[in-house]
């Protein structure tokens, strides 16, 4: 089976992890800060806080922005469940904003309308989480304008968008957001096996993220409520977690990030070949606006005839092609239905879901495998 996504591990990656295994520190050593520095350099963000998953990073991002019971957080229904669950961990209520039919990203016209209605009811959200589906950034400039007008904070769930750009700026620069989150799960752009990162330009948010990832414990005398008792002394200032990344993971990520440009270029080449060879087929390929660079974590096609999606999907799997669907709308999950959501709530998201298939895309996908995928798909359509 050709998978839809797959990690790419080189001899250098293995050597980097092995070097940590033979060093003094498997965790809380020098490699996590080096990995964080690398991401500040890649994105231009002032602070990077590495953690053990993007889910943890989203949770900490919500906490750092003050999300708590009674808070309102809005996000996209076309995402992995973690984009919404992070707010639920904090006891907040979650709502969704319908998506654009082409990109599956948050629709800013729908968002404006929903914000205007919410303002009349005095029920504006504290935080909006924008998801860059497949590695294509949302229109962050417009979202930033809305945030100023309606007074909410922005988290970018850029789990798919490591190496992507918006208006020629790297995603992760946080130019238009408070915090950006990346995922390093093996199917994503680069991997640490499990891992994630939160980036920000605000020192107070960075400090909150750092404290919360490690039990809320500080060793900084300036943050303590009484003088240190001795060199061993630390204080727990808040209720934090153990969300730390290990140095083994950071070594893998640091090694992988050194070839990020090559990985993105390869993904773009493969995506361009899909676009070129699927011309004329009864489907739509992704559209990338000027100024944006899509990292192509996923290559999502939308079938013209959604009644055939299931049959086409099953036939592709039968032909050894590991297609997938990203995503089942979050609001239709039983957990969210229990909270009052139902089918019909976000029609664009549901229509998008019903016609999409994610085709295999990863750096080691060969051109002949890709030709086989294209030929099989075209024959089926």
Ligand X SMILES: *Cc1c(COP(=O)(O)O)cnc(C)c1O
Q: Which residues of the shown chain bind ligand X in the complex (CB under 6 A)?
A: 53-55, 79-80, 82-83, 131, 157, 159-160, 183, 185, 196
CB of 185 vs ligand X, minimal distance in Å: 4
CB of 194 vs ligand X, minimal distance in Å: 6
CB of 151 vs ligand X, minimal distance in Å: 25
Residue 161: closest CA among 244, 39, 330, 329 = 39
CB of 207 vs ligand X, minimal distance in Å: 23
Q: What backbone torsions phi and psi does residue 321 show, to the nearest 5 degrees?
A: -110, 115
Can you state the angle between helices 260-277 and 247-257, rounded to 10 degrees? 60
CB of 145 vs ligand X, minimal distance in Å: 24
Q: Say how far apart CA 162 and CA 159 lie, in whole Å.
A: 7
Q: What backbone torsions phi and psi does residue 356 show, to the nearest 5 degrees?
A: -90, 150
Shorter beta-carbon distance to ligand X: residue 158 or 377 = 158
Query: Both tokens of residue 89?
Result: 């961990």
Q: What backbone torsions phi and psi does residue 281 show, to the nearest 5 degrees?
A: -75, 160
Residue 52 CB partners (closer than 8 Å, separation 6+): 194, 195, 196, 243, 244, 245, 246, 249
Shorter beta-carbon distance to ligand X: residue 77 or 312 = 77
Residue 210: closest CA among 244, 234, 182 = 244
Residue 278 CB partners (closer than 8 Å, separation 6+): 285, 301, 374, 377, 378
Shorter beta-carbon distance to ligand X: residue 278 or 357 = 357
CB of 223 vs ligand X, minimal distance in Å: 29
Shorter beta-carbon distance to ligand X: residue 54 or 111 = 54
Shorter beta-carbon distance to ligand X: residue 183 or 348 = 183
DSSP per-residue string spanning 231-275: TT--EE-S---B-BPBHHHHHHHHHHHTTHHHHHHHHHHHHHHHH
Shorter beta-carbon distance to ligand X: residue 36 or 218 = 36
CB of 187 vs ligand X, minimal distance in Å: 8
Shorter beta-carbon distance to ligand X: residue 114 or 160 = 160
């Amino acid at each position: 089976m050709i998978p839809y996504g797959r990690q790419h591990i080189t001899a250098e990656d293995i050597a980097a992890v092995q070097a940590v295994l033979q060093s003094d520190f498997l965790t809380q050593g020098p490699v996590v800060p080096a990995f964080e520095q690398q991401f500040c350099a890649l994105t231009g963000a002032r602070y990077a806080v590495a953690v053990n998953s993007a889910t943890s990073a989203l949770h900490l991002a919500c906490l750092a922005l003050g999300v708590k019971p009674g808070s309102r957080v809005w996000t996209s229904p076309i995402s992995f469940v973690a984009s919404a669950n992070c707010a639920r961990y904090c006891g907040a209520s979650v709502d969704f904003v319908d998506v654009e039919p082409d990109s599956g990203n948050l629709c800013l016209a729908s968002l404006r309308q929903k914000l205007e209605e919410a303002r009349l009811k005095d029920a504006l959200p504290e935080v909006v989480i924008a998801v860059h589906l497949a590695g294509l950034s949302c229109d962050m400039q417009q979202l930033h304008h809305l945030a100023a007008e309606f007074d909410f904070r922005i988290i970018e769930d850029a789990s798919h968008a490591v190496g992507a750009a918006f208006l020629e700026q790297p995603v992760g620069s946080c130019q238009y957001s408070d915090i950006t989150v990346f995922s390093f799960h093996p199917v994503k752009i680069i991997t640490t096996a499990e891992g994630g990162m939160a980036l920000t330009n605000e020192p107070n948010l960075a400090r909150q993220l750092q404290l919360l990832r490690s039990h809320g414990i500080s060793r900084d005398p300036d943050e303590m409520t009484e003088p240190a008792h001795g060199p061993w002394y630390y204080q727990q200032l808040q209720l934090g977690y153990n969300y730390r990344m290990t140095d083994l993971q950071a070594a893998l990520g640091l090694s992988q990030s050194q070839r990020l440009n090559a990985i993105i270029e390869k993904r773009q080449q493969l995506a361009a070949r899909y676009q070129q060879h699927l011309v004329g087929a009864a489907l739509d390929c992704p559209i990338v606006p000027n100024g944006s660079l899509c990292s192509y974590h996923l290559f999502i096609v939308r079938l013209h005839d959604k009644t055939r999606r299931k049959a086409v999907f099953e036939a592709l799997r039968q032909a050894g092609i590991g297609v997938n669907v990203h995503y089942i709308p979050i609001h239709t999950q039983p957990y969210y239905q229990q909270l009052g959501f139902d089918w019909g709530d976000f029609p664009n998201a549901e229509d998008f879901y019903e016609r999409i298939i994610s085709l295999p895309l990863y750096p080691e996908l060969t051109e002949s495998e890709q030709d086989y995928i294209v030929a099989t798909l075209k024959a089926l359509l």
